[in-house]
Each structure stands twice: as structure tokens, then as C-alpha cells.
Amino acid sequence: MTTETTPTQTVREETLRSALAAGGRPKRPGALSASLTFGWRALLKIKHVPEQLFDVTAFPIMFTLMFTYLFGGAIAGSTSEYLRFLLPGILVQTVVFITIYTGFTLNTDISRGVFDRFRSLPVWRPAPLVGALLGDAARYTMASAMVLVLGLILGFRPEGGPPGVLLAVLLVLVFSFSLSWIWTALGLVLRTPNSVMGVSMMVLFPLTFASNIFVDPQTMPGWLKAAVGANPITHLVTAVRGLMHGTVTAGQVGWVLLSCAALVAIFAPLTMHLYRNQS
């Protein structure tokens, strides 16, 4: 039994072939455009699930009010004086804690099979990872704005003025972007999103509380003071306080930037190795 081809079908096939042949292949997206596209995807998640902003809003408000009015008088003698000391540290703590959601969301995408589809796309290989980090940088900015607005309402007045505050926020964003590579690597290694969250919190809690965020290390025992002095969070808080109050030195900022470079140099290649070999 044979199937005859009608003239109409032949014309349609020829028209279709000519239409397909006439159009050129679209250009492969560049590294920047692909990363920005995946960054926009990360922001769309917030649009469709606004509950993700709970940590950006409630967390800094709760910690700032609780430590200022419950412990401020006992630690510094007055709430206004303690707020001047505390707010830069709360800014750092809030943004640093939010970074763990980078690994959490990455692991969630992996467990749902979404990341396998991303890896099959003809785009720059690190684009899904870099885009996720860029999207989370928007969350860091929102959290920073929330902390600063609350501080101004409570009476915080930075002596460094707007330039000092902006530079302080920029330094926190750079450090947080660098720190996020650790949680990205964990998101590729651990099996479940909850395990990523648990391990990340286990690392961050000692780093943030064993620092100079809440108290001056000068009051600590010698062994603890030495450990706090080696903590990168301590160096970040010191630089942020200095920028906000106009007392920063080049060495303080240099230590933070050196820490950022070390984090990226170690964990970015490790993350890409894990990403390429993800099964």
C-alpha cells in the first residue's frame, strides 16, 4: 500500500523548508545576559512566593528591637549608645544569615530536577549559579535597607553620613556574595534542602555570635578574644562600623576584601567542579 503525495502537500513542505532556511540561527546568549536572566528568575520566585521575604523583614526587626531594649541598658548603659554600636553588627548578621538560602534554593532545584534542564541548555555553564547569586544580592539589598530604616527610626545617626553608609552596605554585599559560594557548594553536595539549612546554620551561628556584633571583645577571656579576632565576621563588622561612623582605616577594609578574594578563589572553582560532575 503506497501513500501518494498531493501537490498541495509538496508546496507546503517546500514553503516550510524555505521559511526555515531563510531565518538565521539566534545568537548564543553571552555570559552576562544568561546570568542576568537566571538572576531575574530568582527574583520572580520572590514575586510568586512573597513569604520568602519573611527573613528579610521580621528577622532584622526582631533582633534589633530585642537586643537594643532588652540588653542595651545592661551592656552599654543606655539604649541609644548601644544602638550606635549594635546596628552595624545587626546589618552584617542579617545579610550573612540570608546567604544560606542560596544553597537551600539550589538544592531544592536539584531535588526537583530543574537544574538538570539548566545544564542541558546552550548557555554559559556557570550562568545558573551566578544568576542565583545575583538574584540573592537583591534580597541582601532589601535586608540592608530594612535594617537602616529601622535604625534611623530608633535614633541611629551614622557620623560617616550617606557616603559611609552606602560604602558599608556595598562592603557587606561583596562579602555576602563571596560567602554564598560556600553554601552553593554545600547545596551541590548535600542530599536535601533541610540538610543544607541545618549545616549552614551550624556554621553561621558560632561565626556570628562569637564575634564583635553584640559585645566588645575586650571584655572576653584571652583565648576567646583571640578566636574572635581571627573571625572574618569580626573584621567585616569592624570595617562596617568604621565606615558608618567615619573611623575606618584602609587596613580594616583591606582585610575584608582579602577574605572575599580567598572565599571566591577557594569555593568558586570547587563549586564549578561539583557542578560539572553533578549526576
Confidence of residue 4 (pLDDT cuts 50, 70, 90): low
Query: What is the domain count for the chain?
Result: 1
> Does residue 81 fall inside a structural domain?
yes
> Does residue 15 fall inside a structural domain?
no
> Does residue 98 fall inside a structural domain?
yes
Confidence of residue 237 (pLDDT cuts 50, 70, 90): very high
> Does residue 24 fall inside a structural domain?
no
For the segment 77-106, the average pLDDT, to the nearest whole number, is: 88
Q: Which residue has the higher pLDDT, 218 or 258?
A: 258
> Does residue 178 fall inside a structural domain?
yes
For the segment 227-237, the average pLDDT, to the nearest whole number, is: 93
Residue 256 predicted with pLDDT over 70: yes
> Does residue 174 fall inside a structural domain?
yes
Residue span of the structural domain in which 77 resides: 29-276
Name residue, grid cell 583565648.
223
> Does residue 156 fall inside a structural domain?
yes
> Does residue 48 fall inside a structural domain?
yes
Residue 235 predicted with pLDDT over 90: yes
Tens of pLDDT, residue by residue over 26-51, are: 677 778 888 888 888 888 877 777 76
Residue 248 has a pLDDT of: 94
- Please answer whether residues 127 and 34 qualify as being in contact, where contact means their C-beta atoms are separated by less than 8 angstroms: yes
Tens of pLDDT, residue by residue over 128-185, are: 888 888 888 888 888 899 899 999 999 999 999 999 999 999 999 999 999 999 999 9
